[in-house]
């Protein structure tokens, strides 16, 4: 059986269960402009945090069928406990009410508040866990990674951050959440609060593309299913050079979909108010080279240590938010991973 004992990333692109594996050399970096060769990047929410950005050498990528995964054996280092603060139901409601008060005082339209839900590790192997996620969520970008700082992360994200090829950029505005339940996707009706959230993300992307002086188009706004959830999505595309796309990507992260609006002020509040470090949650990851890349927002993800699966979940908070409904939304988002790890 092949044994892996060094940093690695297993991943699967949306629309396929084919698995790709990169292992071995990885270096830290500050800006994407530093990366001139094919890499797999793994970047945090906040570039000033203690979580470095990593770039795996992607000059050699192994491809396999999903059935071949269980031939691999992982020899992981001892994973130190993450010590991530969990927040209970009552404290979360207080947190959201306090956040809304601060938003009113600071004139902020929206924040994206997150919390951590820690679930005890089960006996399932991480390879089998990753395989189950790939098979259950074939329309997501699914990954399992051991980073050079000995952190293990795993996720199944529905959100494209930026895709670039042949001088064409694609991105999306994704916001608003409902549990799909037994409904068909065309039966979903969106409320004003959810529509406002998503509209603000649209406007943010429109402003960035317009200021970049590139030719761009906005697609139709519709619903996107992601596991047991559904979101509002608008697709954007733009024609741009490598120099232009680098500047656009810099300004896109973090978008109001994962941070808030106005983005700098919302981010400042969240870094102070949240009881945990987001680390790589709501950062971005994926294949990158200057002329071609495919990057995703790190949602529906977890950090794994020796004792727990630490699930990161969040939701958009506006002045119309009901704290109890926001709690329910985060519980529903946790089910994406909980339904597999339990």
> What mean pLDDT comes out for the span 153-176?
97
Q: Tens digit of pLDDT for each residue in 100-138?
A: 999 999 999 999 999 999 999 988 899 999 999 999 999
Domains, in order of start, for the chain = 3-341 (3.60.120.10)
> What mean pLDDT comes out for the span 298-302?
97
The share of the chain scoring above pLDDT 90, in percent, equals 95
pLDDT at residue 227 greater than cutoff 90 = no
Q: Which residues of 8-38 are buried (b: 16+ CB within 10 A; e: fewer)?
A: bbbbbbbeeeebbbbbeebeebeebeebeeb
Of 156, 196, 178, the residue nearest 328 (C-alpha): 178
Separation CA 172–CA 227 (nearest Å):
18
Q: Tens digit of pLDDT for each residue in 59-116?
A: 999 999 999 999 999 999 999 899 999 999 999 999 999 999 999 999 999 999 999 9
* Band of residue 255 on the pLDDT scale cut at 50, 70, 90: confident
* Band of residue 264 on the pLDDT scale cut at 50, 70, 90: very high
pLDDT at residue 164 greater than cutoff 90 = yes
Question: What's the pLDDT at 342?
Answer: 81
pLDDT at residue 43 greater than cutoff 80 = yes
Give, for 226, the enclosing helix (H) or strand (E).
Answer: strand 215-226
pLDDT at residue 271 greater than cutoff 90 = yes
Q: What is the mean pLDDT of the chain?
A: 95
pLDDT at residue 182 greater than cutoff 80 = yes
Question: What's the pLDDT at 123?
Answer: 86
> What mean pLDDT comes out for the span 284-302?
97
> Could you tell me how many residues make up the chain?
342
> What mean pLDDT comes out for the span 321-342?
95
Question: What's the pLDDT at 8?
Answer: 98
């Amino acid at each position: 059986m092949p044994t892996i004992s060094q940093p690695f990333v297993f991943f699967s692109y949306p629309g396929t269960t084919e698995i790709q594996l990169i292992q071995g050399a990885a270096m830290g970096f500050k800006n994407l402009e530093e990366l001139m060769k094919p890499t797999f990047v793994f970047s945090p929410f906040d570039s000033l945090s203690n979580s470095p950005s990593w770039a795996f050498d992607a000059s050699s990528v192994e491809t396999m069928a999903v059935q071949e995964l269980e031939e691999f054996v992982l020899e992981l280092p001892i994973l130190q406990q993450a010590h991530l603060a969990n927040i209970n139901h009552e404290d979360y409601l207080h947190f959201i009410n306090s956040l809304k008060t601060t938003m009113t005082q600071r004139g902020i339209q929206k924040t994206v508040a997150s919390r951590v839900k820690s679930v005890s590790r089960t006996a399932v192997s991480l390879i089998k866990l990753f395989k189950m996620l790939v098979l259950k969520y074939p329309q997501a970008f699914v990954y399992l990674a051991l980073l050079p700082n000995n952190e293990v992360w795993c996720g199944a994200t529905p959100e494209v951050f930026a895709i670039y090829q042949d001088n064409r950029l694609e991105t999306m505005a994704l916001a608003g959440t409902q549990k799909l339940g037994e409904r068909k996707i065309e039966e979903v009706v969106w409320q004003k609060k959810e529509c406002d959230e998503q509209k603000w993300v649209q406007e943010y992307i429109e402003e960035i593309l317009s200021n970049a002086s590139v030719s761009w188009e906005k697609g139709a706004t519709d619903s996107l299913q992601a596991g047991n959830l559904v979101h509002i999505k608008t697709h954007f595309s733009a024609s741009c050079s490598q120099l232009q796309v680098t500047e656009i990507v810099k300004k896109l992260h973090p978008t109001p979909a994962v941070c808030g609006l106005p983005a700098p002020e919302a981010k400042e509040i969240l870094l102070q108010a949240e009881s945990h470090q987001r680390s790589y949650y709501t950062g971005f990851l994926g294949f990158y080279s200057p002329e071609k890349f495919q990057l995703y927002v790190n949602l529906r993800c977890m950090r794994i240590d020796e004792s727990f699966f630490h699930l990161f979940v969040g939701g958009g908070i506006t002045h119309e938010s009901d704290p109890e409904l926001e709690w329910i939304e985060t519980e529903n988002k946790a089910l994406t991973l909980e339904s597999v790890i339990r």
